Structure formats: structure tokens, C-alpha cells
Amino acid sequence: MSLFDNEEKREGKRLIVIITVTVVFLGLLGFVLNAVGTFGNTAVKELGGDALLRKYEWFKDAHNQLNAKTANIKIYKAKLDAFKQLENPDRTDKENFATWAQELAGMQASYNDLAAEYNSNMSKVNWKFCSGDNALPREYKTDEWV
């Protein structure tokens, strides 16, 4: 064995260590860059102009639907209150009352479902911008009809 053989072995080991460190470093760099790229793509998808407009329009539509449902519920409550004032309702009146009561319960359930979805979406971080101008309420109450 000569001194020259030991130097070649050391150079070979050093080269293997350098290649291993380089491969590990490049792998970690790729992982980090992929994570950053994924984050960037998600941010653009969720916070881009089209997405923000779509989300704001959903809130405006839901707000208007909730207002319409509230108006309809008030109309049905007024119908039921007026019916209760009748002195001798006949069978048809009683059937209408039962139908209106069922429809009112359905409208209230529909209102509560939409209000819960509205409140849930408004509480999400990427939807909070929608209540910034105070044009839309931050939350709707779902126990209003109890």
C-alpha cells in the first residue's frame, strides 16, 4: 500500500460526502420552493380579483335572500295572527292555517340554514373583507324565530 492510495481513498470519500450533502441540500431546497409555490398559487386562487368578486357577490345575494325570507316570514306570521282573530273558522280555514304554519316553519328553517352558512363564511379569514365597508352585516341571528 502506498501513500498515494490513501489520498485517493480520502478524495473519494470527500467527493461522496460533497455529493451527498449537495443532493440533500437540493432536495430540501426543492421541497421549500414547492411549498412556497403552492402557497403562492393558493393565495392567488383564493385572494385574486375574480375570487374576491365571486365571494362578495355571494354575500350580497345571501344578504338579499335573507332579507326576502325575513319579509316572507313576517307576512306568514301576520296571516296566522289574523287567522287567530277569526271567531268561528270553518274546516277550510283550519286547513289553511295548518298549511301556513307548516310553510312558515319551512321558511324559518330555510332562513336559519342560509344564515348559518352566511355566518360561517363570514368568519373565515379569506372572506372577512366582505364586511369591511359595513354594507353587509357581520352576522345574522338564527334563533330569531324561536
Which is nearest to 52 in space by CA: 126, 141, 109, 135? 126
> For 54-112, how does the pLDDT look when each residue is reduced to its tens digit (9 = 90+)?
888 888 899 999 999 999 999 999 999 998 898 888 999 899 999 999 999 999 999 99
> For 24-48, how does the pLDDT look when each residue is reduced to its tens digit (9 = 90+)?
888 888 888 877 777 777 767 776 7
Provide DSSP, 15-81: HHHHHHHHHHHHHHHHHHHHHHHHHHHHHHHHHSHHHHHHHHHHHHHHHHHHHHHHHHHHHHHHHHH
Q: In the prediction, which pLDDT does 66 show?
A: 94
* C-alpha dihedral sign at 86, 92, 95, 97: negative
Residue 140's Cβ-count burial label (10 Å; 0-12, 13-18, 19+) is buried
Per-domain boundaries in the chain: 1-47, 49-131
Q: In the prediction, which pLDDT does 127 show?
A: 65
Residue type, 75: I
* Residue burial 1-10, b: 16+ Cβ < 10 Å; e: rest: eeeeeeeeee
Q: In the prediction, which pLDDT does 13 show?
A: 86
Q: In the prediction, which pLDDT does 4 show?
A: 55
Q: What is the value of pTM for the model shown?
A: 0.63
